[in-house]
Amino acid sequence: MKNILCLATVLFPLLSGCAAMQDCPPQETLAASPAEAQPANDYPTRDRVDYVLECVAKHGGLSYINQYACGCKIDKIAEKLSFADYEAAKTFVQMQKTPGEAGAVFRDPQQSKDLKGKLKQTETEAEKACFVQ
């Protein structure tokens, strides 16, 4: 048993990438801070699934290729747009169809136009990157 403990104390620094224990950073610095632990644009699972299901339906139904490509597409969108921007743009796109003055709030503001344009451009780039042409 003593030999195993000695072997562990010799191998641990090598396996952890440190030449010697004194070269290793303290354990508390190894743990990621909460801000570093999560990706900056991590979309909620429900929204990712909704996007993938809508995308699969638009591309002819459920198949491995469509499912993979649509999953890739939302990942590419998440790389470029924060979830707040994505959600706002999606809301503007859905609500712009509201007729009359009630829909003007979603159609007319410059923010609406900017976010819709950014979402459309990002989706086009993601489509080209993820779907086989």
Cα separation, 114 vs 117, whole angstroms: 5
CA 42 to chain centre: 5
pLDDT of 56 over the 90 cut: yes
Write down the pTM of the prediction: 0.66
Q: How confident is the model at residue 36 (pLDDT cuts 50, 70, 90)?
A: low
CA 26 to chain centre: 31
pLDDT in tens, 68-127: 999 999 999 999 999 999 999 998 888 888 888 888 888 888 888 899 999 999 999 999
Widest CA span in the chain: 82
